[in-house]
């Protein structure tokens, strides 16, 4: 008579180890994924246009800087990386454009901020950037 309860005749369920690998990957992948998604692609596109209209004359269309400093690259990452996106946004809102500080409505400056985040390697997601969301987000780069 076949007794499958006393002696395990089967190798460990292979599904189980696959599940473990999938779960481990999910944990590893979850951390960087959190850095994405708090602005939308449409918002960044709108910000691109606004940036060209209001900021590019001093920061260049490719953000590499002219009269104003570069808004991407290693110096930028050193200065802003890891800081709350809110600080960055508030700086822009209070000081930029340098020739007319505070002249842009908040939603336009949020769109520009989304564009700058995208240019610095952040991935757009399904939720638009808001002042509230900016509090919980960190600027890309840094240590």
21-80: contacts with ligand HEC (CB under 6 A) = 54-55, 57-59, 67-69, 71, 76, 79
Q: Does 104 bind ligand HEC (CB under 6 A)?
A: yes
From start to end of 18-111, where are the E strands? Answer: none
CB 125 → ligand HEC: shortest distance, Å? 21
Q: Does 118 bind ligand HEC (CB under 6 A)?
A: no
> Total number of residues binding ligand HEC (CB under 6 A)?
20
Q: Does 114 bind ligand HEC (CB under 6 A)?
A: no
Residue from 44, 92, 117, 138 touching ligand HEC (CB under 6 A): that is 92
Place of tokens 């960044």: 44
Is the distance from CB of 113 to CB of 140 less than 8 angstroms? no
CB 25 → ligand HEC: shortest distance, Å? 36
Is the distance from CB of 142 to CB of 83 less than 8 angstroms? yes
Residue from 63, 85, 96, 129 touching ligand HEC (CB under 6 A): that is 96
Residue 109, Cβ density class (10 Å: 0-12 exposed, 13-18 middle, ≥19 buried): buried
Q: What CA–CA distance (Å, rounded) separates 76 from 70?
A: 7
62: helix, coil or strand?
A: coil
Instruction: CB nearer to ligand HEC: give 55 or 85.
Output: 55
Instruction: CB nearer to ligand HEC: give 64 or 95.
Output: 95
Closest CA to 91 of 55, 41, 122: 55
């Amino acid at each position: 008579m076949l007794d499958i309860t006393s002696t395990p005749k089967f190798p460990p369920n292979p599904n189980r180890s696959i599940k473990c690998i999938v779960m481990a990957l999910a944990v590893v992948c979850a951390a960087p994924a959190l850095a994405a998604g708090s602005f939308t692609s449409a918002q960044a596109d709108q910000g691109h246009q606004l940036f060209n209209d209001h900021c590019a004359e001093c920061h260049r269309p490719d953000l590499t800087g002219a009269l104003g400093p570069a808004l991407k690259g290693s110096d930028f990452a050193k200065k802003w990386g890891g800081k709350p996106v809110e600080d960055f946004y508030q700086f822009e809102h209070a000081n930029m454009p340098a020739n007319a500080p505070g002249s842009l409505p908040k939603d336009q400056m949020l769109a520009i901020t989304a564009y700058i985040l995208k240019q610095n390697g952040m991935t757009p997601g399904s939720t638009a950037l808001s002042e509230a969301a900016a509090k919980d987000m960190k600027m890309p780069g840094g240590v």
